[in-house]
Every structure is written in structure tokens, then in C-alpha cells.
Amino acid sequence: MEDSRILELYWERSEEAITETQTKYGRYCHRIAKNILNSDEDAEECVNDTYVRAWNCMPPERPNKLGMFLGRITRNLAIDRYDARRAHKRNGNMELALDELGECISDSADMPVSDEIVLKNAIDGFLEGLGRTARIVFMRRYWYLCSVSDIARSLGMSESNVKVTLMRTRRKFAEHLAKEGISI
């Protein structure tokens, strides 16, 4: 079913919207949550919470890209769940990916909203300037939090090639942020 029709179902308050969302985006959302939580059960709960959050957001929101909208909700819910259980368990993949990216940017928790917008625009500009493969590798590692081995396998690259691509891209990212006047 087309996204526009699924959105109409949400606006009509039809429960079929959830069924169609699950059919079209269930695996996508599950993969995002599992990469962060490293647990099928927790990922499934996050995906179900995503459907509830989407139901509560639409209307009034009408996302332009339903998949991106659902992915963002899932990612945020999974990170919240991860933070909640962080004291009890460790997810090395997420910690490692965030540590790697931490080389380029500082903690933005106390960043003013205007600075967050500047950072977002700088990141968008950086990603637009990357080649296709480097952009995919960067996004899979730092947005979807995929492991290096998963990225290598899905793109037909060696793990060492993925690691080198990530290292070079992080270096370029730090340089880009410096040029934009964003402190690192």
C-alpha cells in the first residue's frame, strides 16, 4: 500500500493504518531497534510503541516520508529504552559507535536549540558532500548503529575496508565541523 493511503488511514482513525504500517515498515523498524538494543524482545516492544506513538501523532502531524518518520520514532524509543537499562547491561556496538563519533563532536545535551540547528545543518551539508558508499557506511554505522561486520556483509566490502572508510569519513567530518565553526 502506498504511504499516502496509509496516512489517510491514520487521519480517518482506521485501525487498518497500524496493520498496513506493520506490513510495510515492521521489519525496517525492528532492525533499527535491534541494532540499538541487541534484543529481539526489546526491539519488538519498541516497534509496538512506535505504532502507538505514530497513532497518537497523526493527526495533526502529516509526515512527508512515512518511513523516515517511523524510523526516527523507533530510534528515539530504542535509545530511551537503552538508556533506561544501561546500568544493567552494556551494548558494545552502540557504545563503540558513539565513542567513535564522539571523536568528532562533543556532547550536545546542554547545547542551545539554535546551536543544535546549526549542527544539524552542518551534518546535512557534510552528508550531501560524501560519495554514495561513504554516506551509506557512515549512516549505517552512526544512525542505524549497525556493526562493522553487518555493514561489510550488506555492501560486499571487507571489514577492514569499512573501518578505513569510517576512519577517513570521521576525519573529514571533524574537518567539516571545524570549517563550519562548530567546536569539537
Digit-coded pLDDT (tens) for 137-153: 999 998 888 889 999 99
Q: Both 45 and 105 in a single domain?
A: no
Q: Within a domain: residue 107? A: yes
Q: What is the pLDDT of residue 178?
A: 85
Tally of structural domains, the chain = 2
Q: Within a domain: residue 184? A: no
| Boundary of a domain, candidates 20, 55, 85 | 85
Q: Both 45 and 76 in a single domain?
A: yes
Length of the chain: 184
- Which 8-state DSSP code applies to residue 12? T
Q: Both 97 and 174 in a single domain?
A: yes
pTM, two decimals, is 0.66
CATH number of the domain where residue 123 is located:
1.10.10.10
> Rg of the Cα trace of the chain?
18
Q: What is the mean pLDDT of the chain?
A: 86
74 near 18, Cβ under 8 Å? no
Q: Which domain holds residue 75?
A: 3-85
Q: Positive or negative CA dihedral for 127, 124, 46, 16?
A: negative
35 near 71, Cβ under 8 Å? no
Q: Within a domain: residue 10? A: yes
Neighbours of 91 (CB within 10 A): 17
**Grid cell for residue 134:** 561513504
Q: Mean pLDDT over residues 117-129, rounded?
A: 85
CATH number of the domain where residue 45 is located:
1.10.1740
Residue 79, pLDDT above cutoff 80:
yes
125 near 176, Cβ under 8 Å? yes
Q: Within a domain: residue 26? A: yes
Q: What is the pLDDT of residue 115?
A: 65
Q: Both 105 and 172 in a single domain?
A: yes
Digit-coded pLDDT (tens) for 25-68: 999 999 999 999 989 999 999 999 999 999 999 989 899 999 99
Between 178 and 138, the higher pLDDT residue: 138
> Which band of pLDDT confidence, cut at 50, 70 and 90, is reported for residue 108?
very low
Q: Both 61 and 129 in a single domain?
A: no
| Boundary of a domain, candidates 70, 85, 100 | 85
Note the helical H segments in the chain: 3-11, 16-37, 40-57, 66-85, 92-102, 113-129, 132-142, 148-155, 159-179
Residue 120, pLDDT above cutoff 90:
no
Q: Both 68 and 122 in a single domain?
A: no
